[in-house]
């Protein structure tokens, strides 16, 4: 039951047939590549998707580069992937806080993390202190912890202006920007926004976006999100923003949508 060998390693591991608890499944080379990317070893668990869209948990029983086997032991209650496909555009934070940001954004369902350089963010000369080479690995670890089927993409850092011109920004159904100086008198930022869809959450650094960057974000179509009159730490703003978007547009709901 192999998948397309050219498929993205970050995409869910999917089988062509139906699955059932207690079933032993045969894994092909493409499946093993995805499990190796996720650092799943024999006797460890992973999430697998059946052809009908049902998610299951399975335990890897044997493995080689060309194939393996696993036993399905649990049918999951729903999808691990949110209908709100959120890209996080986050100014690079100091004191290695991007590690935590990537971890928690992954757990909260993001599909992509875009670290950006802004006026008040960590600057290129100091970037190595933040361990940018470790950010992508944190997404993999977080996926295993929260049992997600897919692994979000973690891009290399780039200037904010470049991020605003990228396809994930321009092609989004709606874009949101969190900043403590946002005008709270504006209209509902969720007006005329429906899910499922692709969305972007932009979060500034400590000290916020500069006035020029705020103007740039507004011109690029960012809708302001504000949380009362409190000034949040930048990483807290990331988590709060994700909670808001997932509650309004995604799968973080107290009652069914």
Per-residue pLDDT tens over the stretch 46-87: 999 999 999 999 999 999 999 999 999 999 999 999 999 999
pLDDT of residue 109: 98
Q: Give the confidence band of 230 by pLDDT, cuts at 50, 70, 90.
A: confident
* Residue 69 located in a structural domain: yes
Are 22 and 143 contained in the same domain? no
Instruction: Say what the pLDDT of residue 4 is.
Output: 39
Domain annotation covers residue 257: no
- Could you tell me whether strands 55-64 and 24-27 are parallel, antiparallel, or unpaired per DSSP bridges? unpaired
Could you tell me where the DSSP H helices lie in the chain? 29-37, 97-107, 135-146, 160-164, 167-170, 211-219, 234-249
Q: How far apart are CA 62 and CA 42, in angstroms?
A: 6
The whole-number pLDDT of residue 231 equals 86
Averaged pLDDT, 143-171: 98
pLDDT of residue 227: 81
Q: 47 and 98 share a domain? A: no
Residue 253's pLDDT band (boundaries 50, 70, 90)? confident
Q: Which of 52, 77, 102 is the last residue of a domain?
A: 77
Per the domain annotation, does 255 fall within a domain? no
Furthest CA-CA distance within the chain: 59
pLDDT at 164 over 50: yes
pLDDT of residue 226: 84
Domain interval for residue 60: 1-77
Q: What is the pLDDT of residues 165-222, one digit of tens each?
A: 999 999 999 999 997 776 655 678 999 999 999 999 999 999 899 999 999 999 999 9
CA–CA separation, 118 vs 13, rounded Å?
36
Whole-angstrom distance, CA of residue 45 vs CA of residue 109: 20
The residue among 25, 57, 77 that closes a domain is 77
31 shares its domain with 63: yes
Tell me, yes or no, whether 68 and 106 share the same domain. no
Run of H or E residues at 87: strand 84-91
């Amino acid at each position: 039951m192999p998948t397309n060998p050219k498929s993205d390693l970050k995409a869910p591991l999917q089988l062509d047939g139906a699955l059932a608890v207690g079933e032993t499944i045969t894994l092909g080379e493409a499946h093993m590549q995805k499990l190796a990317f996720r650092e799943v070893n024999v006797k460890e668990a992973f999430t697998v998707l059946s052809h009908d869209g049902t998610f299951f948990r399975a335990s890897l029983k044997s493995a080689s580069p060309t194939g393996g086997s696993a036993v399905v032991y649990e049918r999951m209650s729903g999808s691990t992937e949110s209908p709100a496909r959120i890209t996080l555009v986050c100014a690079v934070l100091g004191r290695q806080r991007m590690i935590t940001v990537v971890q928690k954004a992954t757990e909260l369902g993001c599909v992509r993390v875009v670290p950006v350089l802004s006026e008040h963010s960590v600057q290129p000369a100091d970037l190595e202190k933040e361990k940018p080479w470790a950010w992508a690995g944190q997404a993999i670890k977080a996926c295993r912890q929260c049992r997600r089927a897919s692994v979000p993409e973690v891009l290399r850092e780039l200037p904010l202006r470049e991020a605003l011109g990228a396809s994930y920004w321009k092609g989004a159904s709606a874009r949101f920007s969190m900043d403590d100086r946002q005008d709270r008198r504006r209209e509902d930022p969720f007006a005329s926004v429906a899910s499922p869809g692709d969305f972007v959450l932009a979060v500034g650094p400590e000290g916020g976006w500069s006035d020029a960057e705020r103007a740039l974000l507004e011109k690029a179509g960012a809708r302001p999100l504000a949380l009362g009159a409190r000034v949040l730490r930048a990483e807290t703003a990331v988590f709060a923003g994700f909670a808001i978007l997932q509650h309004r547009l995604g799968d973080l709901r107290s009652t069914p949508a």
